[in-house]
């Protein structure tokens, strides 16, 4: 979660992001993506927060693990059920791996504090890709370092490209595409924020790799790129929220990774005040969804960056919406958010259903079979996972998260329909069908 949790997340001062992108054949994508799990921050390249797994409408609490420090991003899950999650720990481990079945810790390690800003990206071989202050790293399933590549800044959550490489953006706005096997650059990096000239650079010290990370929650120009990009795997076009020097707000920038290069196509300030969440791409690649800071969801044309429509959802969402392949949109929760679903009708959003009787305090995930999950208030202060019918909004079941409080920062779906959610305060909960 980003701006909605500002006051609650002041203590999470170290947040960052790397993004991965590219384009080529579907077979190359399939060969690296961990299908059946939850490979990255928002599940897939388009940030859809959806799963092809058929979700169960009856869940039971399986296990929970205190992580020892606040957690700011979702957990990722391999197709074999290995979990990866980061924390903002001041000492000890800050990158963990657990078994989904038992909760047993497979391994943990300590990286730079910037690791807390990102969700690890996992491939079909259970290799993981995660940034830290000044570097992108890859580990194998046993926690052994495969490679480390020095970069400018701290990478935010990475993505896979259509040709199977790793694309990421640092909080400084530096875009890189690396080989998943060697960590070497596939194309020259691209700077969304122009670097100083040679003359200027003589008098400008190199910024610390973690500079501005403490401002990523606040929508500040001190953290120019705070969110995870969305990628169209077929075209190679991807979208980044960036606050450039001298601008009054952040803008959404359309980039393309193709023909051996990274190139900029357009930038748009159509979202008033700038985007408060990671962009989300429609399944056909034609529409991009983003929240503003006032409680409005915006739909932009991906060819031009111009607004198609806007819809007041009634509260400021903490993250981007969950968007299915057939276009059902379920906005994320917020400090005073409720539950609703929209349908994109081209020039406007149609309200499908609305549940003002529930206080939504998490990020929703939709699964095959028309089942959705999100975290809601239970009683006066507790939290529970609500399973609901995505077609009607009707509750199917509600499972208490024992001892949980505050907010959760993501909802991930496991290969057998498990539902995972970490709390901002630093505890991982796992429910099973």
Q: Could you tell me if residue 59 is inside a domain?
A: yes
- pLDDT at residue 393 tops 60: yes
Q: Provide the 3-class DSSP secondary structure of residue 386.
A: strand
- The conformation of residue 28, written as its DSSP 8-state character, comes to H
Q: Could you tell me if residue 331 is inside a domain?
A: yes
Q: Could you tell me if residue 176 is inside a domain?
A: yes
Question: Model confidence at 220, in pLDDT bands (50, 70, 90)?
Answer: confident
Q: Could you tell me if residue 203 is inside a domain?
A: no
- pLDDT at residue 99 tops 50: yes
What range does the domain containing 144 cover? 3-194+210-432
pLDDT 10s digits, 363-387: 999 999 999 999 999 988 899 999 9
Q: Provide the 3-class DSSP secondary structure of residue 26.
A: helix
pLDDT 10s digits, 179-191: 999 999 999 999 9
pLDDT at 217: 73
pLDDT 10s digits, 398-413: 999 999 999 999 999 9
Name the percent of the chain lying above pLDDT 90: 83
Alpha-carbon span 276 to 295, nearest angstrom: 10
- pLDDT at residue 15 tops 60: no
pLDDT at 299: 98
Could you give the dihedral angle defined by the CA atoms of residues 325, 61, 4 and 68, in that order, rounded to the nearest 10 degrees?
-130
Tell me the mean pLDDT in the region 111-133: 96
Mean pLDDT of the chain: 90
Q: Could you tell me if residue 200 is inside a domain?
A: no
Q: Provide the 3-class DSSP secondary structure of residue 213.
A: helix
Tell me the mean pLDDT in the region 32-44: 87
Domain count, the chain: 1
Query: Which CATH number do you get for residue 80?
Result: 2.130.10.10
- pLDDT at residue 27 tops 90: no
- pLDDT at residue 19 tops 90: no
Q: Provide the 3-class DSSP secondary structure of residue 419.
A: strand
Global model pTM greater than 0.95: no
Q: Could you tell me if residue 294 is inside a domain?
A: yes
Tell me the mean pLDDT in the region 388-404: 97
CB atoms within 10 A of CB 348: 13
- pLDDT at residue 212 tops 90: no
Contact residues for 200 (Cβ-Cβ < 8 A; gap 6+): none
Q: Could you tell me if residue 336 is inside a domain?
A: yes
Question: Model confidence at 357, in pLDDT bands (50, 70, 90)?
Answer: very high
Alpha-carbon span 370 to 360, nearest angstrom: 19
Tell me the mean pLDDT in the region 299-304: 98
Contact residues for 33 (Cβ-Cβ < 8 A; gap 6+): 39, 44, 123, 124, 160
- pLDDT at residue 350 tops 60: yes
Q: Could you tell me if residue 204 is inside a domain?
A: no
* Poorest-pLDDT segment among 28-32, 363-367, 414-418: 28-32
Alpha-carbon span 379 to 238, nearest angstrom: 41
Contact residues for 374 (Cβ-Cβ < 8 A; gap 6+): 330, 333, 339, 360, 362, 363, 364, 365, 385, 386, 388, 411
């Amino acid at each position: 979660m980003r701006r909605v949790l500002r006051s609650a997340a002041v203590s999470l001062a170290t947040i960052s992001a790397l993004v991965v992108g590219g384009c080529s054949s579907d077979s190359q994508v399939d060969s690296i993506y961990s299908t059946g799990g939850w490979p990255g921050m928002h599940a897939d390249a388009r940030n859809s927060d959806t799963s092809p797994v058929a979700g169960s409408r009856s869940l039971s609490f399986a296990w929970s693990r205190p992580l020892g420090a606040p957690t700011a991003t979702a957990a990722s899950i391999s197709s074999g059920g290995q979990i990866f999650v980061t924390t903002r720990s001041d000492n000890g481990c800050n990158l963990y791996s657990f078994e989904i079945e038992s909760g047993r810790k497979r391994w943990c390690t300590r990286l730079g504090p910037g690791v807390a800003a990102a969700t690890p990206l996992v491939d079909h071989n259970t290799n993981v890709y995660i940034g830290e202050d000044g570097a992108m790293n890859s580990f194998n399933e046993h926690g052994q370092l495969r490679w480390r590549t020095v970069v400018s800044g701290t990478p935010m959550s990475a993505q896979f490209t259509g040709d199977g490489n790793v694309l990421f953006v640092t909080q400084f706005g530096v875009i890189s595409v690396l080989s998943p096997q060697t960590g070497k650059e596939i194309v020259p990096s691209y700077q969304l924020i122009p670097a100083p000239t040679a003359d200027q650079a003589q008098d400008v010290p190199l910024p610390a790799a973690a500079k501005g990370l403490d401002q990523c929650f606040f929508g500040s120009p001190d953290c120019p790129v705070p969110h995870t990009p969305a990628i169209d795997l077929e075209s190679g076009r991807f979208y980044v929220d960036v606050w450039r020097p001298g601008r009054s707000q952040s803008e959404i920038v359309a980039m393309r990774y193709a023909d051996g290069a990274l190139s900029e196509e357009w930038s748009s300030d159509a979202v008033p005040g700038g985007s408060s969440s990671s962009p989300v791409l429609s399944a056909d690649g034609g529409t991009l969804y983003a929240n503003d800071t006032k409680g409005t969801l915006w739909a932009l044309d991906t060819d031009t960056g111009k607004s198609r429509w806007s819809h007041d959802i009634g509260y400021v969402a903490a993250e981007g919406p969950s968007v299915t392949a057939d276009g059902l949109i379920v906005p994320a929760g917020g400090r005073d958010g409720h539950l609703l679903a929209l349908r994109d009708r081209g020039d406007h959003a149609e309200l499908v259903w609305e549940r003002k009787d529930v206080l939504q305090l998490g990020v929703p995930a939709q699964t095959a079979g028309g089942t959705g999950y999100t975290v809601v208030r239970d009683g006066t202060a507790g939290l529970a996972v609500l399973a609901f019918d995505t077609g009607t909004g009707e509750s199917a079941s509600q499972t208490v998260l024992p001892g949980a409080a505050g907010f959760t920062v993501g909802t991930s779906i496991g290969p057998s329909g498990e539902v995972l959610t970490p709390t901002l305060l630093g505890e991982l909960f796992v429910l099973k069908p």
